[in-house]
Structure 1
Amino acid sequence: MIWSLVGVLLAATGLGGVAIWQNTYDIREERVTLRQGKQTLDGVLATPTDGRGPYGLVVFVHGDGPIDATHDSFYRPLWESFAEAGYASLSWNKPGVDGSSGNWLDQSMDDRADETMAAIAWARQRPDIDSRRIGLWGASQAGWVLPKVAARAPDLRFVIAVSPAVNWQQQGRYNLLAQMREDGASAEQTAAALRRRKTTLRLLRRDASFEEYRDTVDDPQGMTADRWRFIKKNYTADATADLRAIQGTPVLLVLAGHDINVDVTDTETTYRKLLPASLLRVEQYPDATHSLVKHNLEQSELKLTLTAVFAPRALFASGFLTGQRQFLKQANADASKGGRT
């Protein structure tokens, strides 16, 4: 029994060492504070460890939810990959998350764009940041923020849009139906869900209160007053006009083959229609989910957890981290030539 216990302890110690090693990244992280008006946002600036700045910068724009600066460490493999290309990364806790003031559910997409512009202005004042090489990286809900910022700041070096939607209401319907299929819902269940959605849209158009929504919809599905207010601010969001207004900024559109959140066919069609071919690059990852995690991992909670602990870089679809790094290396090469594309 004693030797068995010793063996277990040694194995546990070894696995713990592997986990620590695999979750150690070749970046230097600095805690920073960003200010926008009266609001303060706690964030992280991750820089290459070689100490030879000024660096280009990737400004991260989160998707939906109460996300912290590292996205529970999910961003760190990306930061490391970007650092290998000579870029720093800037990310922050959403308002109301881990010390940042405010409440992210109070924000419109315009508010989120203002916040991102403030972060870019902050970065331009840093001597270790090359203001000529600042670009954006954003996922999912960031699809309604990135084009707004790029239209306002035409001197951005690039935009990387990962799994973005174009129209809020179209995306919501697509996600609802895709999730119902994924869950094996019956025709009756799907019809009921579509009726709830129709009622919800009718209430949103009337600017109904949360109390009226709660009393009208028979299955609120976790809706809160704050979330209802957030949806009312943003349910008409559409990226079309902002995409059309982008001038001269290269865009990398990253799409997944197993995305039940966003209709990737519609997104790609819209981006190709509205952006010049010379500015747009599209990368497809057939084995990926909406978050660019390997599909087979998201199918198993155990596999997903073990990979996150012991091999976090392997969470992402094959070639994704390499593709991101190569895109930034090309952006560096273009910058050295004085070009934009």
Structure 2
Amino acid sequence: MLATAAALGVVVAGLGGVVLWQNTYDLREERVVVRHGGRALNGVLALPTQGKEPFPLVVFIHGDGPVDATHDTFYRPIWESFARAGYASLSWNKPGVGGAPGDWLDQSMDDRAAEALDAIAWARQHPDIDGRRIGLWGASQAGWVLPKIAAKDRGVRFVIAVSPAVSWHQQGRYNLLAELRRDGASDAEVAAALRRRETGLELLGRGAPYEEYVRAVGDPQGMTAARWRFVSKNHTADATADLPALRGLPVLLILGGHDVNVDTADTEGGYRRLLPGPALRVARYPDATHGLVKHVVEASPPRLTLTALFAPRALFAEGFLADQQNFLLAVSPSPRREKP
């Protein structure tokens, strides 16, 4: 029994060592505070461990949800790959997350852009950052924020857009139908869900309160009063008018083949139409989900957990990290920008 216990102890210690090693990144992380609108944005500045400062910078714009600065460590493999290209990364907690003041559900897309603009202004004053070489990385909902930032800050030098949508309404309908198909919904269930959606859109269109929404649909199915307030502010979001602000910038559009959140064909068509020319590069990953995680990994909760613990860099679709790194290596320090 003692020998068995000792052997188990060795195994547990060994596994713990593997987890620690695999979750240690070649980065220098600094906790930073950025001021915005009288509030503190608690963030992380991830710097390369090699090379000479000042470093060019990638500013991270989150997708939907209560995201902290590291996205529960999900960002760290990406930061590490950027650091190997000589770039620093900056990210911060959304309002109300990790003890930060405020509530991200009170924000509009314009509010989120204003927050990022203050973070960029802060970064330009940081001695370790080259203020002439700052670009943006954004995922999902950030697709409505990235072009707003670039329109107001003509010093933004590049954009990496991961799984962005163009129209909030179109994206919402696509997501609803994709999830229903995935879950094997019947024709009657699909029709009922579409009727419920149309009811919600009609109420949003006339600014109805949450209580009226609940009376109209019955079970709110996760739609809280705070979430209704957030959707009411943002449901008309459409990047069509803002995307021309990215013309002339190097833009890497990243899309997954198993995305049930965003209609990637619609997104690619919109980007190609609004951003014609060689500055736009589209990278597709057929085996990737909305978050660019390998589909076979995300489809299995036990495998997803084990991969996140023992091989977090292997979560992502093949080529995702390397392609972003190569994009950054190729970015010119001072690209020409067209007026939108």
TM-score (norm. length: structure 1):
0.97
Conservation of the 8 A alpha-carbon contact between 1:158 and 1:250:
yes
Tell me if the contact between 1:159 and 1:251 (Cα under 8 Å) persists in the aligned partners: yes
CA distance in 2, matches of 1:163, 1:2: 53
RMSD after superposition = 1.1
Q: Is 1:144 aligned to 2:138, yes or no?
A: no
CA contact (8 A) 1:154 1:246 kept: no
Structure 2 counterparts to residues 26-175 of structure 1, below 5 A: 26-50=26-50, 52-175=52-175
Match of 2:219?
219
Query: What residue number does 1:304 align with?
Result: 304
Cross-structure match for 1:250:
250
The range that moved more, 273-282 or 291-300, is: 273-282
Matching residue of 1:234: 234
Other structure's SS at 1:95 match = coil
**Within 2, Cα distance between the matches of 1:140 and 1:89?**
18
1:187-336 equivalent positions in 2, closer than 5 A:
187-331=187-331, 334-335=332-333
> In the TM superposition, what whole-angstrom CA distance separates every residue of 1:33-61 from its partner, at most 9, and x where no partner exists?
01112121100000001262000000000
Specify the alignment match of 1:185 in structure 2. 185
Q: CA deviation at 1:340?
A: 4.8
- Following TM superposition, where does structure 1 have runs of at least 4 consecutive aligned residues deviating by more than 6 angstroms? none
For structure 1, the 5+ residue unaligned runs are none
Cα deviation, residue 215, structure 1: 1.4
| Cα distance in 1 between the residues matched to 2:54 and 2:336 | 19
How far apart in 2 are the matches of 1:8 and 1:178? 45
Q: How far has the Cα of 1:11 moved from its partner?
A: 0.6
| Distance apart, 1:290 and its partner CA | 0.3
Structure 2 CA distance for aligned equivalents of residues 136 and 231 of structure 1: 24
Tell me the TM-score normalized by structure 2: 0.97
- Residue 99 (structure 1) shift: 2.1
Q: State how far apart, in whole Å, the 2-side matches of 1:50 and 1:255 are.
A: 31
- How many positions carry a matched residue from both structures? 337
Distance 1:247 1:154 in 2: 11
Deviations 1:63-82 (A, max 9, x none): 00000000000000000000
User: 2:248, 2:153 → 1: CA distance?
Assistant: 10
Q: Deviations over 1:221-274 (max 9, x none)?
A: 111111100000000000000012334221110000000000000000000000
State the alpha-carbon separation in 2 of the partners of residues 196 and 214 from structure 1: 11
**1:152: Cα distance to partner?**
1.6
Q: Would the aligned equivalents of 2:93 and 2:100 in 1 still touch at CA under 8 Å?
A: yes
Deviates more, 1:121-130 or 1:212-221: 212-221
Instruction: Give the residue type in structure 1 aligned to 2:150.
Output: A
CA distance in 2, matches of 1:76, 1:250: 23
Give, as a single letter, the amino acid of the residue that structure 2 aligns with 1:34.
V
Residues 27 and 46 in structure 1, CA contact (< 8 A), matched pair in contact too:
yes
Structure 1 residues 95 and 263 mapped into 2: Cα distance closer, same or farther (>3 Å)? same
Percent identity among equivalent residues? 67
Letter in 1 for 2:140: S
